[in-house]
Structure 1
Amino acid sequence: MVQERNNGLNKEMVLPPIQQNRPALSWGVKIKKKLKAVPPYLGKFRPSVGQCCHQCTPDSLGKKLGQNSPSLGFQNLLSVNETHTRYRGWLVRRVCCVLYVNGCKVYPSPVGKRLDGVCQSNRVQEALTAEQKAPEGGDSRGQLNRLSPYLTLINTCISPGLLRFVGWVMLKMLGSVFGSIQVNLNHLAALHRASQQGSLPVYVYVRQSVMDCALIPLVLFCHNLRVPYTLYPLQINSSWLRSVLQKVGVVLLPPCALTEQDAEMDGLYSPVMTSLVRELLREGQAVSVGVSWESGQGGQWLARIRELIKNGSVLDVSLVPVGISYDSVPKTNIQVGLSSLLRFLWSLLWRRTGGSVRIHFAQPFSLKEMCETGRCRVDGWRPLQDLLLPTILNNRADSVFGQRMMSWLLPSTYAPEPIQPTHPERDLSIALILHLLYSATSCTAVMSTGLVSSLLLHRHRKGVCASALCRDVAWLTEEVLFRNKDVGFGGSLVEVVYYSLTLLAPHLSIAAAPSRKDPFIAPCPSLAATLSLSLHAQIVTHTFIMEAVGACAVSAMLCEVAGSGVSSRVRSDGVEGEQVRGDMEFDVVLCQSELTERALQLCHLLPPGFMPPCQSSQSFALDAVDSLVRCGILIMEEVPRDVPICDFWKKQGTLSWSTTDDPYHSDSDCEEPDSHSYKLSQPTQCPEMLFFLCSMLAGHLRALCWTTEGLDLLHTPLPEAQCVAQIHAHLCDTADKNKQHYESCSEEAARTAVRTLIDLGVLVEEQQRGGVSLGLSLLFQLADNRQKLHRFISQYLYN
């Protein structure tokens, strides 16, 4: 933890002025009057985030590039004044932004002989030969004709004059979009030290919006660091706009490809892009890559860089995970044209600011150290159907140990080399993608809108008073900081809550009648409002994922106890009969082995990016159970042997027998006592806290349940896109029918559910003329097996 001596969370990080751009709302005044006596926000300690993995990259961790730097605090990138220039005066204050941009350092980026290097590379030559477009020994004119769609991509450069102009435009434009862009100066100081050591940085972030690829170069440009070449699958229709972006280092899609998947289908695209990245890194250029946890798109660039290091084309690179948090994620369209861009810029002049942005640069680590030292292990990966189907179909209590294999994070068309889907090198590239997804998410700050959205969506679904909401925000902030997660806001508690409610007001119902002193706040029961709140609350779910997994495992065991007909007494001090007062004490004792097993099975159903990639699933499941003890939900208890324990682990047919020639055989093997047992704690807030944690994963699990129920409605085989569309429509219809749980019917939830069912073997990929289609497997064409799958998933839903 790094101590910060300030008044409030961080006085350098000022909230955007609320009163200037928005009218004073009645409920805002009531909140301020109601809570004007609340003390300033706790925030004297701020966690140090972004350290690299101690298991895979201990050498990089030992460098400690940011340890010796003083506490520099945060800087608002949009707050440019005369102090940022060398000049002073009345005129300087009005053109300070121009002077500031003109004084920023721009590193030269000549194209030079890059085209010759790409065309003469072995990869490109072999691809041209395989296509028989230009046979070996053919003339260079035929090769250039075949490479003509990629010539503009290869000649992407960084023009100093144009970069300064675009930087000035971006500062002015983003000032209308966001209230502030906060940057951790300690992280930038570490990047300066790393650049002085000559390491080639590769910035990796999780894709959220088109704004992501603009924010990282702008921050680096304003702090005199090398502006990276941005690899982003953006299709621009305007030739003028493509020319501008390509002269500021943006590598776009080829003009003939509409999507990234279409571009990868061309056999020449991957060799050309791999050779282009090699030439950029050889020139000493920085690179910026965006990765999507939902589809795995973007991971092919990391696989290409790793392939270059493995072949010796590049000595090493320093990977820098970047966490970008928005108070409100801007909605932008990837298919950008000149007219739509001009309309977007014009709309910025009349819109209100959409909150703040926080950017964290994590500690750089060596890619060569991670991949070539053998510390990153992938030998325990197994298909999801091998991990869970024995438990789902055969009701076995002992699951197969291993990590879930997620080969879809690097589709075969994206691989830099034609290798088998189960090849160790391919698995290592997938492990790298998972590692960076988790690292970038871990250093992402939790914004105030995320805290309020999580509380309203998972704890106060039916509404809450403003005073109770403020108390919960204070409590949740302390819990987030305790888990070594930074927050992206500052100021007093009243300011933070009012600011968040102002941004979330379109998705909330706020009752502030004159007769009601304490305003009542509830989320709107609509699809758009619920999906927006769910998007904001995702980062809080990432923070509490360990506790959420453990809570769902406890809920599953309690549901099985209730459904098994086992009677449980309710004890209280000095009370007999039906009258019960005080805290209730349940005579249900949970076995550690069974509880850990439930948590382990649930781990395999989580989307990528939630679990630490270097930690085994078994270890994570044990930590999930231990986290509930730290939260006070569970209490470890020593249970006498004559007291029956609620243990479904030793069911009929699950006892393992050792052979007679086993040297470690003992007659007492089957009587080995359990290591630990747990029972629910008795504080009154325990059930509420348990349900709050369970609700964090309820949206994902409910989408899986609804998808399983809708399998009989699919007329398979179907292309994957059509299958996802039909599942999405089914999720929306189910939510509309129930008039609730709209967070389970997003397109993201539909795609994740379909991908999970493919990994489980429920949906089978079939190769057809039009491409890959999905069909229902023979095993799950039986309604009984689909019901077993539904029961297995629904056991983790607390309601």
Structure 2
Amino acid sequence: MDTMISVWTMVEHVRVASGAAELAIFTAILYWFFTSSRVADMLEVVGERVGGWCGRDTSSSLRQAVRARKRQQEYSKLDSTANCRKSSLFRIKEGPVIPAPEPQLRPPSGLACGRCAPVSRESWQDHKVRDTGAVINILDIGRQNFANGGVVSRYLCDLAQCCNLCAYDYKDVVPNVVKDESVAQAIEEATQEELAKAKENGQSGASYATIRKRVEARALKVVQDISSAMSNNVLKFVAWVCHKAVRRVAGGGCGTRVAGVERLRRANAAGLPVVFVPLHRSHFDYILMTFTLYLTGLRPPLVAAGDNMRIPFFGWFLRGCGAFYIRRRVEGSEYHGDPTYKSALRAYILNSLSAGNNLEFFIEGGRTRTGKPQTPKAGILSVIMDAYLDGTIDDALLVPATLNYDKLVDGNFVREQLGMPKQMETFWSALRGIWRTLNTNHGSIRVDFNQPISLKELVTSFQKYQHYKAPIETCLTPPNNNLAVNLDRQILYNHSHSSLYGADVSTDHKMMVEAIGRHLVYDAAQATALMCTNVVSYVVLCEARRGLPAAALAARLAARTRDLAAAGRDLAYTGDAATALRHALEMLGRGLIRREGDIIRPGTSIAAQLELAYYANTVVAHYAAPAIVATALESLICASSSTEFRQSELVSASLQLCEVLSHEFIICAPCQRIQDQILDVIDSLESQQLIIKDKSDAVLEEQQWSRRMARRLEGDDDDDRPDPTQRVTYTVSDKPEAVAERQRLVLTLRPLLEAYSVTCRHLQAGTMKDVVKNSLDSLTEDFTQNKMLYGEAVSTDAIRNCLRLLRQWGVIHVYTEGKTRAVRIAEPYASASALEDVCHNVHKFNMNTPLLEPSNK
């Protein structure tokens, strides 16, 4: 009985609770129904009409009265607002004029050279629209386009954007390549060569038809291996995947400058093939360039990719996105390489251009291992030049492009810099790399495009430059170099080699292709957006190597930011220096930069400093010219123990150092002479009060100018008359800020010079691998024993570049024994004294100077 009572009691409680809930819900519905403005308006209209039918006056209803009162309150608010505006306007008119704040503007970077391509500089931009340097996040394009669409398109904006991308027609050029005359000629030559070998080996059964068929089948396979398989469906799918991947990888978004995209759209209307020439930092560059162009409404190009990227599954997707695969090493000698392959590659590129396809290739060849822009590999550029010169295309628009990352997507290259072999890309390594990348925040990404430059205009301009005439046919040894006259064309002559040049190509043609390639690299490097990690790494290595408090480091960062902005560099970060410093430290991680209390300093390991140097080298390339002049100045001071020097001595020493570091930096655009760049830097150092001109020994600048003009008007070409500038002398300033600035500039190049000097000291005959290993071991020992402060000097790239320099000087010969590259000392330098004399041209710039002693304490 008690159980039944308790059950009924529970049921009664439930009924009461449910009734209360129903009553609450019903009350809420009634409240919403009678308080809703639309329902209330509807009831009022119905009530007024019913009252009118019944003969009742509806003008004095309660709701009308309430509305009239609300209307009166609103009118009073409007009156008070109007009175406030009138009084504010009166105060503005009567008070002082305060200008409106100007938006922050970025420099108009990415402009074509005004000397080489003045027409291109003016053609592809709208002068009525001011270039504010605005940057858009390409990941937000879909959200902006479908912000006012339906529910599905708003929530699936990325998918909607990819589905609505424009579809382009890509013609299959493989049949035309197979029928190309150069390919047919290469097939015939290969057939005749194999037929001759068969007869020499006594293979009487080998017939011409059989060999020809085999060579043709091999050539067809080569063409199919090279060719792209661009697909609009694959492009759209990869674009959608990239939306998701880049959002996860780049927490700061992927930005590109609006002006660069608008210039490309205007150039695209010209109907000429557009050739994108980006600098190469990461494997992600392949997809990111195509992704950016595709999302901004531009035609995706065919991309020249190394055959190391032809890995299962991922290689197929890259081919569907426009990649065509080329061999990483194609020897240009007539005794090496595959003539059929080179002819097929040239024919594929030429037929793709004539079919109206855009093209993209990385002019540096491979990814940079040091973070600095590399000297160009002009193979594909020479093919494009041939296409223009033989009339296959009327012209082509070259577009230098740059990519930069807050944090490198591929990881670091420390293993390779320490002499370990490069790990080849495989399916599993690519899968591991993608998984690791997707679980790491890499900050912001910038993809920027320079102005399109007419190839025809560049060729016409470079044919007029007199300082490239009469190329040097033999290498000059350092003691006999007349660098003021020969350096510009000597550098071009030493670097102008490519595996895709024809056999009958002249030296002038090679030097022109090299000059255009170096100009493209220089333009792209100057337009690279500097991330906060780049600037912070440079400041830490060159100004705070021994450690600085966070506040002092932020002040150094702010000063460096102002200096770079004043020089016209695009900075990809905003906000105050303390915020930028915190973000950079977060991106770089505690493994690269140590924080001991309030003191911040670089990591003490070689690996940490090598990786920091990778980020810093983007800024090092900017300061290369003033750093060379400052280092040359310090070598003069140490050699003479005097703070006074002649301008001619400083120019000569600076040119010698420019030659030493010719494999590391492109000091200036090839259309400008290096000596003129050095003189401009000297003037800049004088304006900064780092050096002080002595007026007593030099004529005034007006007198110098008048004498030069008089000689030109008189037509006097007598070179024996002394130049007054040779008598200009300077004194080094001893102010603390001038000394600190000189120290920063000297430290900018010091790690490189340490590596070069050690390489010269350990130069000996043997295999290339042993020479590099001995130099690396010596550098590592010096660093671990605190004889050298710079861990980033332990670099394979710097050692190999030094060996290239010595080979150009004729100090060493590099030859091949089997599959091993070996080094031997040239006969004139076989003795230790002769070798020391020539290597002194490197050692003298790695001097022991009191300027760096505070850093070594």
What are the superposed Cα offsets for residues 491-535 of structure 1, whole Å, 9 maximum, x if unpaired?
A: 23222111011112334454464xxxxx21010121111111111
How much does 1:79 deviate?
3.7
Task: State which of 206, 218, 221 in structure 2 corresponds to 1:149.
Answer: 221
Corresponding residue SS for 2:139:
coil
The equivalent of 1:291 in structure 2 is: 363
Say yes or no: does 1:590 pair with 2:669: no
Relative distance call for 1:621 and 1:209 in structure 2 (3 A) is same
Residue identity matched to 1:430 = E
What are the superposed Cα offsets for residues 111-154 of structure 1, whole Å, 9 maximum, x if unpaired?
A: 1xx22211222221221122126999969854541214324345
The equivalent of 2:242 in structure 1 is: 170
Describe how 1:631-670 pairs up with structure 2 within 5 A: 631-640=688-697
**Residues of 2 paired with 1:790 and 1:780: CA distance?**
10
**Residues of 2 paired with 1:507 and 1:785: CA distance?**
45
**Contact kept in structure 1, 2:492 and 2:515, CA below 8 Å:** no
Say yes or no: does 1:754 pair with 2:827: no
What are the superposed Cα offsets for residues 579-631 of structure 1, whole Å, 9 maximum, x if unpaired?
A: xxxxxxxxx33211111111121121222433322111221221221121132
Residue identity matched to 2:125 = L
How much does 1:194 deviate?
0.4
**Residues of 1 paired with 2:841 and 2:103: CA distance?**
42
Relative distance call for 1:727 and 1:270 in structure 2 (3 A) is farther
Residue identity matched to 2:445 = V
Say yes or no: does 1:328 pair with 2:407: yes
The equivalent of 1:195 in structure 2 is: 268
Task: State which of 528, 541, 559 in structure 1 corresponds to 2:638.
Answer: 559
Say yes or no: does 1:679 pair with 2:731: yes
Relative distance call for 1:479 and 1:611 in structure 2 (3 A) is same
Task: State which of 625, 628, 632 in structure 2 corresponds to 1:549.
Answer: 628
Relative distance call for 1:415 and 1:736 in structure 2 (3 A) is farther
Name the TM-score, length of structure 1 as normaliser.
Answer: 0.80
**Residues of 1 paired with 2:574 and 2:719: CA distance?**
62
Residue identity matched to 1:365 = I
Relative distance call for 1:512 and 1:724 in structure 2 (3 A) is closer
| Root-mean-square deviation (Å) | 3.2
Task: State which of 457, 463, 470 in structure 2 corresponds to 1:369.
Answer: 457
The equivalent of 2:346 in structure 1 is: 274
Task: State which of 606, 619, 625 in structure 2 corresponds to 1:527.
Answer: 606
Say yes or no: does 1:47 pair with 2:47: no
**Contact kept in structure 2, 1:450 and 1:539, CA below 8 Å:** yes
Describe how 1:219-238 pairs up with structure 2 within 5 A: 219-236=292-309, 238=311
**Contact kept in structure 2, 1:325 and 1:444, CA below 8 Å:** yes
Corresponding residue SS for 2:303:
strand
Say yes or no: does 1:358 pair with 2:446: yes
Say yes or no: does 1:214 pair with 2:300: no
Relative distance call for 1:446 and 1:87 in structure 2 (3 A) is same
Say yes or no: does 1:417 pair with 2:502: yes
Residue identity matched to 1:589 = E
Name the TM-score, length of structure 2 as normaliser.
Answer: 0.75
Relative distance call for 1:161 and 1:47 in structure 2 (3 A) is same
The equivalent of 1:130 in structure 2 is: 189
Point out the structure with max Rg over C-alpha: 2
The equivalent of 1:735 in structure 2 is: 783
**Residues of 1 paired with 2:295 and 2:687: CA distance?**
43
How much does 1:389 deviate?
3.1
Say yes or no: does 1:313 pair with 2:392: yes
**Contact kept in structure 2, 1:384 and 1:604, CA below 8 Å:** no
**Residues of 2 paired with 1:42 and 1:336: CA distance?**
49
**Residues of 1 paired with 2:156 and 2:576: CA distance?**
34
**Contact kept in structure 1, 2:137 and 2:255, CA below 8 Å:** yes
Relative distance call for 1:596 and 1:663 in structure 2 (3 A) is closer
In the comparison of the two structures, how many residue pairs are matched?
693
Give structure 2 stretches of 5+ with no counterpart.
1-100, 196-206, 369-373, 412-421, 699-715, 853-857
Residue identity matched to 1:791 = H
Task: State which of 507, 511, 517 in structure 2 corresponds to 1:433.
Answer: 517
Residue identity matched to 1:465 = P
Corresponding residue SS for 2:807:
helix
How much does 1:52 deviate?
1.3
What are the superposed Cα offsets for residues 544-585 of structure 1, whole Å, 9 maximum, x if unpaired?
A: 2221122112111111122xxx6xxxxxxxxxxxxxxxxxxx
Corresponding residue SS for 1:435:
helix
**Contact kept in structure 2, 1:387 and 1:400, CA below 8 Å:** no
Corresponding residue SS for 2:191:
coil
Relative distance call for 1:58 and 1:632 in structure 2 (3 A) is same
The equivalent of 2:828 in structure 1 is: 779
**Contact kept in structure 2, 1:78 and 1:175, CA below 8 Å:** yes
**Residues of 2 paired with 1:261 and 1:343: CA distance?**
33
Task: State which of 466, 469, 478 in structure 2 corresponds to 1:379.
Answer: 469
Corresponding residue SS for 2:255:
strand
Corresponding residue SS for 2:360:
strand
Relative distance call for 1:262 and 1:619 in structure 2 (3 A) is closer
Query: Greater CA deviation, 128-137 or 768-777?
Result: 128-137
Relative distance call for 1:484 and 1:381 in structure 2 (3 A) is farther
Corresponding residue SS for 2:361:
strand
Residue identity matched to 2:454 = S
Of all paired residues, the percent bearing the same amino acid is: 21
The equivalent of 1:120 in structure 2 is: 179
How much does 1:93 deviate?
3.7
**Contact kept in structure 2, 1:435 and 1:612, CA below 8 Å:** yes
**Contact kept in structure 1, 2:496 and 2:514, CA below 8 Å:** yes
Corresponding residue SS for 2:580:
helix
How much does 1:672 deviate?
6.7
Relative distance call for 1:681 and 1:337 in structure 2 (3 A) is same
Residue identity matched to 1:342 = L
**Residues of 1 paired with 2:250 and 2:332: CA distance?**
34
Relative distance call for 1:389 and 1:673 in structure 2 (3 A) is closer
Relative distance call for 1:385 and 1:467 in structure 2 (3 A) is farther
**Contact kept in structure 2, 1:388 and 1:400, CA below 8 Å:** no
Residue identity matched to 2:548 = V
Relative distance call for 1:676 and 1:72 in structure 2 (3 A) is closer
Corresponding residue SS for 2:678:
helix
Residue identity matched to 2:625 = M
The equivalent of 1:445 in structure 2 is: 529
**Contact kept in structure 2, 1:173 and 1:345, CA below 8 Å:** no
How much does 1:748 deviate?
1.8
What are the superposed Cα offsets for residues 265-294 of structure 1, whole Å, 9 maximum, x if unpaired?
A: 222222111111111111111111102287
Relative distance call for 1:671 and 1:161 in structure 2 (3 A) is closer
Residue identity matched to 2:619 = V
Task: State which of 128, 150, 159 in structure 2 corresponds to 1:98.
Answer: 159
Query: Greater CA deviation, 284-293 or 323-332?
Result: 323-332
**Residues of 2 paired with 1:327 and 1:590: CA distance?**
42
**Residues of 2 paired with 1:221 and 1:44: CA distance?**
29
Give structure 1 stretches of 5+ with no counterpart.
1-40, 514-518, 567-587, 642-661
Corresponding residue SS for 1:506:
coil
What are the superposed Cα offsets for residues 458-486 of structure 1, whole Å, 9 maximum, x if unpaired?
A: 11110011111111111111111111211
The equivalent of 2:138 in structure 1 is: 77
Relative distance call for 1:630 and 1:543 in structure 2 (3 A) is farther
Residue identity matched to 1:418 = A
The equivalent of 2:42 in structure 1 is: none
Higher relative contact order (CA 8 A, sep 6+): 1
Query: Greater CA deviation, 720-729 or 182-191?
Result: 720-729
The equivalent of 1:578 in structure 2 is: none
Query: Greater CA deviation, 324-333 or 139-148?
Result: 139-148
Query: Greater CA deviation, 721-730 or 472-481?
Result: 721-730
The equivalent of 1:388 in structure 2 is: 478
